[in-house]
């Protein structure tokens, strides 16, 4: 049956339950699967659930939206909201508020099928600091780039490091995203587990030797505290991406998911903290 999941690689490239699984990749014609991109954060804002469908390998990478679904998010404190479809395939909250420590339940009913997922929002972890270091790289001189005496201007390379203190005695998982002048760089994302460094101060390179950052640029690092299922999704998504790029991987199929009924994608409830630094 094989169907392509390139739509997964375009998303965010964001509690263990019985529905966590790996779905084998198939490239032949088949009925489409639903793809879910859903999140709740502790930021005071609206939250969006995006629904699309997979396409066959031979089709153009244009992913049909899923209209007319019933999408409900509720929490373990008794709050619930049915999301409004504000544009085709996009379902948005109006009053539900994400709170650290609560568990959130997603329910989607579409074309006679029901899909569910659960995610528990960890307590947010603050960034201690964000550090940007600059080094310079100069191309080689002479013919073919060898020898001295090069007049090639030095190119600044910026490395951005995030420093934060992991809470002791609790399994924690994180995702870090870099923004440059308010624009997210989804090529520069790090995922971190506190395994082997529980309770310690963690220093993580969000980006290394980035030549697109210039002196005076505002660099923001966002630290998302995610649950174990979402960490596993991003970890296996990274492996699938490597496989798509021809790099050897032991992951046999799609990223793991916390969604039921063979849906693809993920549902994440996460706490978010951020800090800025000016590039030197």
pLDDT digit string, tens, across residues 78-129 = 999 999 999 999 999 999 999 999 999 999 999 999 999 999 999 999 999 9
CA nearest 223: which of 247, 200, 206, 242?
Answer: 206
Looking at the structure, tell me whether residues 203 and 97 fall in a common domain. Answer: no
8 A C-beta contact, residue 149 and residue 141? yes
Evaluated on CA atoms 205, 210, 215, 220, the torsion sign reads negative
Q: How is residue 152 annotated by DSSP?
A: P
Looking at the structure, tell me whether residues 16 and 110 fall in a common domain. Answer: yes
Q: How is residue 253 annotated by DSSP?
A: B
Q: How is residue 238 annotated by DSSP?
A: H
Structural domain total, the chain: 2
> Is residue 274 classed as helix, strand or coil in its secondary structure?
strand
Domain hosting residue 47, numbered range: 6-123+252-269
Looking at the structure, tell me whether residues 51 and 132 fall in a common domain. Answer: no
Range in 139-153, 211-225, 247-261 the model is least confident about? 139-153
At 62 the pLDDT is 74
Answer yes or no: pTM beyond 0.95. no
Tell me whether residue 74 is in a domain: yes
Looking at the structure, tell me whether residues 138 and 109 fall in a common domain. Answer: no
Looking at the structure, tell me whether residues 86 and 36 fall in a common domain. Answer: yes
Looking at the structure, tell me whether residues 46 and 96 fall in a common domain. Answer: yes
Looking at the structure, tell me whether residues 82 and 99 fall in a common domain. Answer: yes
Highest-confidence range of 101-110, 184-193, 229-238, by mean pLDDT?
101-110
At 10 the pLDDT is 40
CATH number for the domain including 154? 2.60.40
At 141 the pLDDT is 43
Please provide the average confidence, as pLDDT, over all residues in the chain. Answer: 82
Which tokens belong to 57?
A: 């390998």
Helix (H) / strand (E) element for 239: namely helix 228-244
- Full DSSP string of 2-32: ----HHHHHS------TT-B--B---S--PP
């Amino acid at each position: 049956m094989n169907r392509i999941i390139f739509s997964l690689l375009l998303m965010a490239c964001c509690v263990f339950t019985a529905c966590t699984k790996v779905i084998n990749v198939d490239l032949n014609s088949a009925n489409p699967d639903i793809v879910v991109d859903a999140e709740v954060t502790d930021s005071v804002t609206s939250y969006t659930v995006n629904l699309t469908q997979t396409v066959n390998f031979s089709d153009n990478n244009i992913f049909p939206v899923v209209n007319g679904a019933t999408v409900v998010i509720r929490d373990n404190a008794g709050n619930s909201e049915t999301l409004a479809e504000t544009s085709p395939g996009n379902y948005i909250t109006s009053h539900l508020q994400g709170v650290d420590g609560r568990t959130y339940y997603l329910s989607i009913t579409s074309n006679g099928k029901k899909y569910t997922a659960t995610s528990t929002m960890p307590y947010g972890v603050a960034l201690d600091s964000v550090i940007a270091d600059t080094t310079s790289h100069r191309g080689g001189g002479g013919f073919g780039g060898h020898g001295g005496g090069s007049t090639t201007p030095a190119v600044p390379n910026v490395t951005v490091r995030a420093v934060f203190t992991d809470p002791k005695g609790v399994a924690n998982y994180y995702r870090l995203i870099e923004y440059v002048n308010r624009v997210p760089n989804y090529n520069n994302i790090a995922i971190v587990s506190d395994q082997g460094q529980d309770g310690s101060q963690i220093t993580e390179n969000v980006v290394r030797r980035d030549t697109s950052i210039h002196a005076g640029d505002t660099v923001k690092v966002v630290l998302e505290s995610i649950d174990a299922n979402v960490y596993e999704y991003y970890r296996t998504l990274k492996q699938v991406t490597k496989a798509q790029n021809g790099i050897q991987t032991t992951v046999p199929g799609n990223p793991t998911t916390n969604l039921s009924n063979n849906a693809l994608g993920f549902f994440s409830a996460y706490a978010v903290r951020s800090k800025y630094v000016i590039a030197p």
